[in-house]
Amino acid sequence: MDEALPRVRHVQWLVGPLVTLSAVVALLLAARFYDHLPARPPACGFHQATGLPCLGCGGTRSVRALVSGDLVASTRFNPAVVVGIAILLAWVATGWSRYLRGIEPPPIPEQNRRLKRNLVVAGVLLLLNWIYLLLFLP
């Protein structure tokens, strides 16, 4: 008569990934219907002022190529867009898996340590992306 305790699911694993996924899907939809939108984004002020591409330069073209199914062109315009979406999908899958398995969230100090590590990794990836844009942006 030893009954297993019900698995406690922690919604914290899903909040961040699903909110971020919702925003990215909205941006992808906007890119899909970009030609029908009544407004266009302004020119890049950083590029106009310095003559150098900013971290987001090529991002609109990258997302438009991605929703058109051209992964190579999307990566060529701004690799951070493709890498960011791949990381987001992995984050959603990981969060969903942890939620379904009922894994306890780590203690706050461990969460803070992971957040700092992830910010450093993101910063390095963005720096590498900017170097790519400086050298190769079409």
- Residue range 54-78, pLDDT digits in tens: 999 999 999 999 999 999 999 999 9
Whether 43 is in a domain gets the answer: no
**Number of structural domains, the chain?**
1
DSSP single-letter state for residue 9: P
- The average confidence (pLDDT) of the chain is 93
Whether 90 is in a domain gets the answer: yes
Q: Which of 20, 12, 19, 18 is nearest to 99 (CA)?
A: 12
Give yes or no for residue 82 having a pLDDT over 70. Answer: yes
Query: Rounded CA gap, 32 and 15, in Å?
Result: 26
Instruction: Supply the range of the domain harboring residue 100.
Output: 12-37+58-136
Whether 45 is in a domain gets the answer: no
Look at residue 2 and give its three-state secondary structure: coil
Whether 2 is in a domain gets the answer: no
Give yes or no for residue 5 having a pLDDT over 70. Answer: no
Q: Which of 49, 52, 67, 45 is nearest to 133 (CA)?
A: 52
Give yes or no for residue 113 having a pLDDT over 70. Answer: yes
pLDDT (0 to 100) of residue 3 = 64
